[in-house]
Each structure stands twice: as structure tokens, then as C-alpha cells.
Structure 1
């Protein structure tokens, strides 16, 4: 435990110095408007009900958080989103798996249920095309996540210069698995590291025109009411926060908007998942 406490200030200090040395240029309103028109579009969620609710899907340049209790459909939603983006040739998907939730077999099964983008493409070719665009890496702690994200920044910067087929969707399932342990301490360094991670994710989303999708569990709060696991330190980080719910044994999931940059909170919708 002592080694963790010694490393945290170093990483936070390095991150702050790095941010200061990479201060972005100022943009006027016209430049921001042009960037929004050209780059800040939406990515399909892979579920029609969600896309209708979100007026198109997940916004590029933003961090979306999916909150929900166990078995509410969070991972299924992530897998469907990865499939949707890869199938429509919108770019690659980078799936960071923190709790062994990624299943290539489940995605392959979903492909057979998902409407094909080309009637001329046979099933085997389609599976290969989609799966080759979904990159997956296991992550076991917050420090490993930060290292991977910095490597990702370097990769995205290179792809941007070479006009390569860039990553358009970054998924972390689940962010709470990595962050919750460092928030359990009374030491404020855990909260600082949590905020630094969130800021880094938002910067990557904005600078490289991709959408970040993370999942978060629910835990017991006051009077037994469930609340997002990451608490107040994380609350202000996501641009969009969605709450999932599902009755036991049902294939129909409920989704409601807790927070959104352009859509009023409280709107609800439904979508179907296949086990």
C-alpha cells in the first residue's frame, strides 16, 4: 500500500505539468462552429431506442457514462455500440476491459442478429470485417489505464498526421472497477487521480474527435437508495449520464437521461437486448 501512496503524487504532478506544457490554442466562435459541423457528429449506439432518445447516438468529442445496477444491460450496450460503429465503417473501436466483460463470441452472435449494411456481403466476411475493427485490451488498475491512454494519444496523433483509419469509439467497461479502490481511502490523492483520469478522457475525446463511453456501477446510498459508485468526485466529469434499468429475466431495458449537454434530463426510452 505504501508504494501506491508514493506513486500517486508523481503521476498527478506529471499530468499537471504535461497539461500546462500542452496548453491548447484559443479558438473564436466561428472556428468552434466549423469544428462542430465537420467533426462533432454522433455515433450510433447499435440500439434504435437509444439513438431515438439521444437524437442520433453518442456525441463525438464527449464522454458518456452509462450507470446501472448489475445485469441492467451496461456491457450489452457497450458491445452493441462497438458492433454498430465497426459495421458502419465509421472507424475502429478500442474496448478497455476491466472485469473480463468483453466477449468476442457474444459480438459474433449479435452480428447475425444485426441488420447487414451490405446485402452482397456473406456472413463470414462480415464477421471478419467487423471483428478486425474492434480492438480489445484488458486493464487491471488505474495506473495501467493512464499509461494506455497516453499511448493511445500518441497513436491518435500519428494517425491524425497520416490520415489513417482512426479510432472513433473508446469504451471502458467498467471505469468504476479501476477508480473505486482509490476512492475508498480518506486520502484526497485518490480523488485527484480520479479527476485527472476524467479530464484526460475528455481531452482525448475532444482533441481527436472520438466518443468515449464508460460504465459505472450502482451502490447503496442513504436510506437504501442506489447511487452511482464513483460519487461526487466523478459527478461533474461526464458530458452525458444515462441510467439503465431492467426487470429480472426481461429482455427490455429502460434508459433515462440524468444529464446531457443538449437534451433535457428526465427523458426516457426503451431498447431490447438479446441474451
Structure 2
């Protein structure tokens, strides 16, 4: 900014004419002089010199705001999730200007949460505006309009006759490749402004990256990391500049923990002499299910909500990472009305945990 030319500044014609007759060309040329030197070179009065310096310094000093102003602005754009207890824990719901991630195993309900969020966005009014729209980027062809209709009709029966009016404000895009998703995200800011969107949903951010950029070699890992960082930067830019909620879903992967020895019955019987015995110890790796895409992506999201199984029909939402909420867990089920959070089944702790190392509970398979 210091090298910006003075001729591009919004100054009056007389001031620009005086500057053009001197050797002053950039903002840096002005700020390196004292006020007396500026008055002498440009033949300005004290008031004129002060006005010029105020204009120049306003371009050099980073824009700031107060915590109170930020709080007021956030309250206007918070998107409630529909459950009083969960919204209270999240200080109102999903916060604008940030990225919220839903991560969990297949079938746990990530898409159902996304559909529920999209419905809430087009039905519920902001404090300072009417209902907006939702942009839904579906990379897995999992979006089902009939399911959205079912949620609206069962959750809000009185809106059944106008259901087409509301679901027409959910704009669905289905990119099929990494390049098409990147191209879409390049223009998503213009689309969000045009559609007056309250929320941008990407379901899922991991699908195309894991499908097209196979992990393994150092080069492929670097390519995937750079691609994810690029997407995260674009999503953060949209969230912050437009002050809307950005929600992404992520998949899970297995991670091998530290190698340990399996103590067999024979070793226990040998007692102190077991160190001298060879071939009896069995080395095993303990694996745990964790969020996919690695630590780089973990640091890109502001809020991480982990979805996991408790029982076959009962699932659990864990607030594993949040700038406003403690480490918290809520049980929920999925029915015709969408997501139903259990009011009396939750716990929280301010001690927290590492969201990147959280062992996610998956559904146990059935032996045939």
C-alpha cells in the first residue's frame, strides 16, 4: 500500500495539481517527510497538510473494529440449528464469517444435518433481514429434493402448501471433479451475493480430493495439501467478506497409533524371564478412526462437529473444536422431521481434547 501512487488517491483537483509539479509520486514519498517539509514542498497550509496526511495514513493503517461491533454483527447473522440446548452451547448456532465442519463415518447423518441446515436457512429470518437462500454444493450426488420436502412438511406442517416457495431458495451445484469444484469456488462469492445467501454448504469437501488425488507419495500428499489449502482459503474469504455461514462435511480415516506388544499367556507364565524368550511376543498396531485430510485441514476449520454412532439408531454429535463452546456431546436421532436432538442427554467439559486425535465411534458390522 505504501507504494500506491498519489495520483490514484481520491483527492481534489487542486491538490493533485500541486503534487504533479513535485517529485512526490507514492504514499511512501509523503510519509517519510515531516509535516513542515510537506507544507514547504506543496505550499500547503497547516489544515491542508493535516487533511492530506489523514487521507494518506487512513490507507496505510489496517482497518480495525471493536469487540462490541463484532458481537453485534455476528448476532445478526447467526444461523440457529433448531435445538435450544445445542444452540445455547454454540452461543446461538452457526456463526457467520467462519467455517463449520461436520465429520463422521458413512451413514451417520452428515447429509441429513446439511439438509436440515439448508432448511433452517431458508425458513428462519435473520434479526435484521428476511429469509435468505442456501447454496448447496453436492460433490457426492447425495442431495435429494424429496427429502427436503419431507423435512419441511413434517417439521413445519403449516408451510406444506408453500413448500415449493421455500425449497426454490436452495440452489444446488454438483461439481464432478476437482477442477470443476475449484472453478465453482472461484465464482462462488458472486453467486452468493446474487442469491442473497445465508449459508454455503459443501457436502463433501473430502470426496473429490480423496478420489482424484491419491495419497501415498510425497508429491501426491503435497498436491492434496495445497489443493485443500486453496479451497479453505476461498471458503474463508467468502465467509468473512460476505459474513455468511460456511458448512463443510468431511469423511473419516483410520490411523495407526504407537506400536505396542501383545502380552500372550505364555509370556505371563514365564514372568521375569520373558525378556530372554524370542518369538513369543506379537507386535500389534492399535488403530483409531479420526477425521480425514490431516492436520493442515484441521487447522483451517473454525468449528469441528464430530458425528458418531452410539447405537444402531442413536447417534452422537460432539463439539470437538469451537472458539465459543466447550467440549460437548449431544445424542440425536434422524426421523421424518430431519434431525432430532435429545434434550436430556448431553454432557460437556471445559478440559477439551485434541479434535485431530478424537477416536470416532463407527457402526459395528454384521457378520454373515
Q: State the TM-score bracket (shorter-chain normalisation).
A: 0.7 to 0.9
2:232 is matched with 198
Q: 2:102 aligned with 1:66, yes or no?
A: yes
Q: 1:59 to 1:109 in 2, by over 3 A?
A: same
Distance in 1 (alpha carbons) for counterparts of 2:310 and 2:247: 23
Q: 2:122 aligned with 1:86, yes or no?
A: yes
Matches within 5 A, 1:95-134: 95-115=136-156, 121=159, 123-125=160-162, 127-134=163-170
- The one of 292, 302, 307 equivalent to 1:239 is 302
1:170 is matched with 200
1:3 is matched with none
> Would you identify which runs of 4 or more consecutive aligned residues in structure 1 move more than 6 Å?
none
Contact 1:183 1:191 in 2 (8 A): no
If the length of structure 2 is used for normalisation, what is the TM-score?
A: 0.60
Query: How many residues are aligned here?
Result: 238
Contact 2:121 2:133 in 1 (8 A): yes
- The one of 168, 182, 205 equivalent to 2:213 is 182
Q: 1:109 to 1:183 in 2, by over 3 A?
A: same
Q: Secondary structure at the match of 2:107?
A: coil
Q: CA deviation at 1:270?
A: 2.2
Q: Secondary structure at the match of 1:262?
A: coil
- The one of 328, 333, 344 equivalent to 1:272 is 333
Distance in 1 (alpha carbons) for counterparts of 2:218 and 2:207: 18
Distance in 2 (alpha carbons) for counterparts of 1:25 and 1:74: 43
Structure number, greater radius of gyration: 2
- The one of 69, 93, 101 equivalent to 1:57 is 93
Matches within 5 A, 1:4-15: none
Q: Secondary structure at the match of 1:175?
A: coil
- The one of 227, 233, 238 equivalent to 2:290 is 227
- The one of 138, 142, 152 equivalent to 2:188 is 152
Distance in 1 (alpha carbons) for counterparts of 2:74 and 2:104: 30
Q: 1:221 to 1:153 in 2, by over 3 A?
A: same
Q: CA deviation at 1:253?
A: 2.4
Distance in 2 (alpha carbons) for counterparts of 1:232 and 1:111: 37
Distance in 1 (alpha carbons) for counterparts of 2:116 and 2:192: 23
Deviation string 1:209-229 (CA, Å, 9 cap, x unpaired) is 110101111111112200111
Question: Mind listing any 5+ residue stretches in structure 2 that lack a counterpart?
Answer: 1-59, 126-130, 257-285, 337-368
Q: Secondary structure at the match of 1:242?
A: strand
Distance in 2 (alpha carbons) for counterparts of 1:35 and 1:55: 14
Q: Secondary structure at the match of 1:44?
A: coil
- The one of 23, 31, 38 equivalent to 2:73 is 38
Distance in 2 (alpha carbons) for counterparts of 1:186 and 1:233: 15
Distance in 1 (alpha carbons) for counterparts of 2:112 and 2:302: 21
If the length of structure 1 is used for normalisation, what is the TM-score?
A: 0.79
**For the aligned residues, what is the CA RMSD?**
2.3
Contact 1:48 1:271 in 2 (8 A): no
Q: 1:87 to 1:156 in 2, by over 3 A?
A: closer
Q: Secondary structure at the match of 1:71?
A: coil
Distance in 1 (alpha carbons) for counterparts of 2:322 and 2:167: 31
Q: Secondary structure at the match of 2:218?
A: coil
Contact 1:49 1:271 in 2 (8 A): no
Q: Secondary structure at the match of 2:198?
A: strand
Q: CA deviation at 1:88?
A: 1.5
